[in-house]
Amino acid sequence: MTEPLNIPSNLSESSIPPIGLIVVGDEILSGLRQDKHVPAVIERLKARGLSLSWVAMVGDDRQYLADTLRRSFATDHIVLSCGGIGGTPDDHTRQAAAMALGRPIVRHLDAVELIRQRCEESGQPLDEFRLRMADFPADAMLIPNPYNRIAGFTVDRHHFVPGFPVMAWPMIEWVLDTLYPHLHHQSVEHKMALRLFNTPEARITPLMESLEARFPLTRLYSLPSVGDDKLARHIELGVKARGGEVEATQVAACFDALLEVLEGLGAPIERL
């Protein structure tokens, strides 16, 4: 079996932990359905001054999912997980989370009550198949589901919601606004960029490395484009950092140094 995602443990020196997203389901990997969670989560994080550090897409394989979760539980990351918490045989997320933590699966009485209320509202029987959706790893906390009351769960900074966007996205918003309001807008992304025309990336790589060493709070990025009928072949070249005034000052200084070198080379540029 392929090794599970090797989740890095030190992506950021910020006081804000890295945030990861796991999308679960064979239907995503087979192309039967197109993933919508990644852009939706990015949008919701961005609205709160947060950003996504990594994404994993995992099929309906209990052991592989458990191995992936075992690695993410070993970090200090905040992890959002979409999919696989239903009650059918191809839903493995709750069991995989319990395996990864070495905890038993227990039936959560508050979740049972919510399922009972849902069954009364919809006229469906309260049977064992529905009650399975109240089984979570021990010590899990419920995530309310405003769509149909069938709860998700939180355990050890990991937050598990259904794969249905109509349920998942409001539940993720609840997690971010209820459990992590203290992280919202804690830092600002400072960014300055330019377009560099008709220059190969290999020519600017040493410059990028030297500037990152000189301005260690910044990161430089390069986004090449082959061009089109409106713009010639170019690279969007930029400097960015998250933080306060110190980081903003370094971004501006690094960008000035970048401009000075490129202008000295006579490289055609356009500031963005």
Which CATH number is 19-183 given? 3.40.980.10
Please list, in sequence order, all residues whose beta carbon lies within 8 angstroms of the beta carbon of residue 4, skipping any fewer than 6 positions away.
58, 64, 67, 68, 70, 71
DSSP SS3 for 41? helix
Can you give the pLDDT at residue 36? 97
Query: Could you tell me the two tokens for 97?
Result: 């989370």
Closest to 205 (Cα-Cα) out of 235, 250, 163: 235
Q: For the whole model, what pTM was predicted?
A: 0.85
Can you give the pLDDT at residue 13? 41
Can you give the pLDDT at residue 6? 56
Q: For 188-271, give the CATH class.
A: alpha beta
- Name residue, tokens 């598990």: 160
Can you give the pLDDT at residue 103? 97
Q: What's the number of CA atoms in the CB half-sphere (13 Å) around residue 254?
A: 31
Digitized pLDDT (tens) for each residue of the chain, 272 residues in all: 444 555 554 444 457 899 999 999 999 999 999 999 999 999 999 999 999 999 999 999 999 999 999 999 999 999 999 999 998 999 999 999 999 999 999 999 999 999 999 999 999 999 988 999 999 999 999 999 999 999 999 999 999 999 999 999 999 999 999 999 999 998 888 999 999 998 888 889 999 999 999 999 999 999 999 888 888 889 999 999 988 899 999 999 999 999 999 998 888 999 99
Domains of the chain, residue spans: 19-183, 188-271
CA distances from 175 to 16, 28, 168 (A): 15, 24, 11
